[in-house]
Amino acid sequence: MSHFTTSILSYLLNSLWQAPLVFGVAWLATRWAREHGPAWVHRIWVTALCAQALMPLARIPPDRWQQLDWPTFWTASHASLQDSIQIIVGPSTPVMTGYLHLPLPVARGLELLFAALLLFGFFRLAWQLHGTYQLLRGSKAYPVQAAIEECLQHCRDQAGLAPDHVRLLTSPSVSGPVTAGIRRHAVIVPPDFFESLSTAECEAVLNHEFAHVCRHDFAKNLCYEMLALPYVWHPILWLTRTRLAESRELICDAMAARISGGPKQYAHSLLRLAAVQSRQRPISVHALGIFETHPLERRIMHLTQLHTQSTLARRILTLTACAALGLITCASALALHLNVPLPAHAMMSNANPVHVSPGVIAGNRISGEIPHYPAEAKAKHIQGDVILKAVISKKGSIKDLHAISGPPILRTSAIKAVRTWHYRPYLLNGEPVEVETEIHVIYHLGDSK
């Protein structure tokens, strides 16, 4: 099993529990933020999607954990000590380097399954983009009449769009209005779609689709789809994407309602459009439409509810609470990161020692001297962290030891003491092996009175 395989398996294992965790936190945050409008809710779900996709990749090495925990450790352990020396072999708690051992056949099977699902998601997105390209190629310019042309121009002006920036097309392949395009945008409707609609309903459709154009939702949604490819198998991600799409439609509804006669008139237009929409099954394309999300009732309720303007203090409080909740979640996910180590036969080598987590080898030490604080260093008020790289032999003695960093005057004291350490032999498949690890010796001078 290669390092690439272990990385994939670590990603899968961490995504299993991190995705539900992030979803739950995002759901709670949206409960707090929904009174401030759909834009806040949408940003939370976008952040949640990014966290679900990227968080399983993030991992803080054990030596970094020691550095991150150092201020807390300093306060707890050194506030009342004088001239102390602290020895840390790796992180201070074993949970920081959690490992999950999987049999090789199971690991291979999971790797192949993940590759198959990733290919499925990639080809599914590629097929949708191909369908979108074919739809744009097969669509024709909508034959607008004078009244529709006036409505179209009025909506363009309100959205601040140039006539050549967005086109109005028609195709029998779509069941309702959809928007596509990255640089040049197109609104595609079924044939004779506007003939059966009133002016208010035409404006509601165009204002909603132009809101997608102004927000560049097609390009953003494409980025979200690509970001979610490794999660195509995860049902929690489907829920996240559903909430994200729903909040996006609520934003466009709010934008369209402001310039379409108010929320009540716009809600009435939505109901009318839903009733006359074609019932044919649309082709598989990557496009955005006014009826893309299913909970139309929820959108109507949101439009007809009375919304009060929240105060600045309340907005700051909500933002602070959401940010604090997100930071705590990210820190917890990083701290509980699961790793799939290389199997024994992959780690063993005739030339190189086995790389074992410092947190694992720390409990194997059975004897040895404690470093002494050099009198010269005390006199010169020198303190700091000496980091040593050690190779432990098959018998448990220190075979090779050298300093990586730290004040030179303190390195000699640390190396002299650590050379006397002795460990229980580290067994791999029942056989003792050489081990490479890292040792931190922290020298601290107390406050002089």
- The answer to whether residue 70 scores a pLDDT higher than 50 is no
Q: Which of 127, 102, 145, 123 is nearest to 13 (CA)?
A: 102
Which of 15-24, 87-96, 294-303, 351-360 shows the lowest per-residue confidence on average (mean pLDDT)? Answer: 87-96
What is the amino acid identity at position 384? Answer: G
Lowest-confidence region among 50-64, 112-126, 136-150, 249-263 = 50-64
Q: % helix / strand / coil in the chain, to the nearest 5?
A: 55, 15, 30
Average pLDDT, the chain: 77
pLDDT for 73: 38
For the cut 80, the answer to whether the pLDDT of residue 415 exceeds it is yes
Residue 306: pLDDT over 70: no
437: helix, coil or strand? strand
Inform me whether the pLDDT recorded for 44 exceeds 90: yes
The proportion of the chain whose per-residue pLDDT surpasses 70, expressed as a percent, equals: 73
The pLDDT confidence band at residue 262, using thresholds 50, 70 and 90, is confident
Question: How far is the C-alpha of 431 from the C-alpha of 424, rounded, in Å?
Answer: 12
What Å distances lie between residue 16 and 50, 237, 337, CA to CA? 15, 11, 11
Query: What pLDDT band is residue 123 in, cutting at 50, 70 and 90?
Result: very high
**Residue 31 one-letter amino acid:** R
Name the pLDDT band for 364 (thresholds 50, 70, 90): confident
Residue, of 107 and 397, whose pLDDT is higher: 397
Residue 258 has pLDDT above 70, yes or no: yes
Measured from the Cβ of residue 190, the count of other Cβ atoms closer than 10 Å reads 20
At residue 219, does pLDDT exceed 80? yes
Instruction: List the domain boundaries for the chain.
Output: 60-101+345-449, 119-225+246-293
Cα 246 off chain centre by: 20
Letter string b/e over residues 380-395, b meaning 16 or more CB atoms within 10 A of that residue's CB = eebbbbbbbebbbbee
Whether the model pTM is above 0.75: no
Tokens, residue 240: 């996240």
Beta carbons within 10 angstroms of residue 178's beta carbon: 28
* CATH class of the domain defined by 60-101+345-449: alpha beta
Q: At what angle do helices 263-276 and 235-258 cross, to 10 degrees?
A: 120
C-alpha separations of 201 from 162, 170, 174, 292, 293 in Å: 22, 17, 18, 17, 19
CA dihedral 79, 83, 87, 91 (to 10 degrees): 30
Residue 248 CB neighbours (<10 A) = 26
Could you tell me if 406 and 414 are in contact, meaning their C-beta atoms sit under 8 angstroms apart? yes
86 φ, ψ (degrees, to nearest 5): -120, 135
How large is the average pLDDT for residues 241-253?
89
Rounded CA separation 253/264 (Å):
11
Mean pLDDT across the stretch 252-276?
80
Give residue 449's pLDDT band: very low, low, confident or very high (50, 70, 90).
very low
Lowest-confidence region among 160-169, 282-291, 302-311, 406-415: 282-291
- Average of pLDDT values for 282-309? 61
Beta-bridged to residue 188, according to DSSP, are 169, 178
Q: Which fold has domain 119-225+246-293?
A: Zincin-like (3.30.2010)
Flag the least confident range among 14-18, 248-252, 284-288, 444-448.
284-288
Per-residue pLDDT band at 231 (split at 50, 70, 90): confident
pLDDT at 286: 59
* pLDDT band with cut points at 50, 70 and 90 for residue 357: low
Q: Residue 308: pLDDT above 70?
A: no
Beta-ladder partners of 432: 427
Nearest-angstrom CA–CA distance, 20 and 50: 13
Best-predicted range by mean pLDDT among 107-121, 128-142, 330-344, 430-444?
128-142
Query: Looking at residue 91, what is its pLDDT?
Result: 39
Q: What does the pLDDT read at residue 161? A: 87
pLDDT score recorded for residue 27: 92
pLDDT recorded at residue 222: 92
The sign one gets for the Cα dihedral 66, 72, 75, 81 is negative
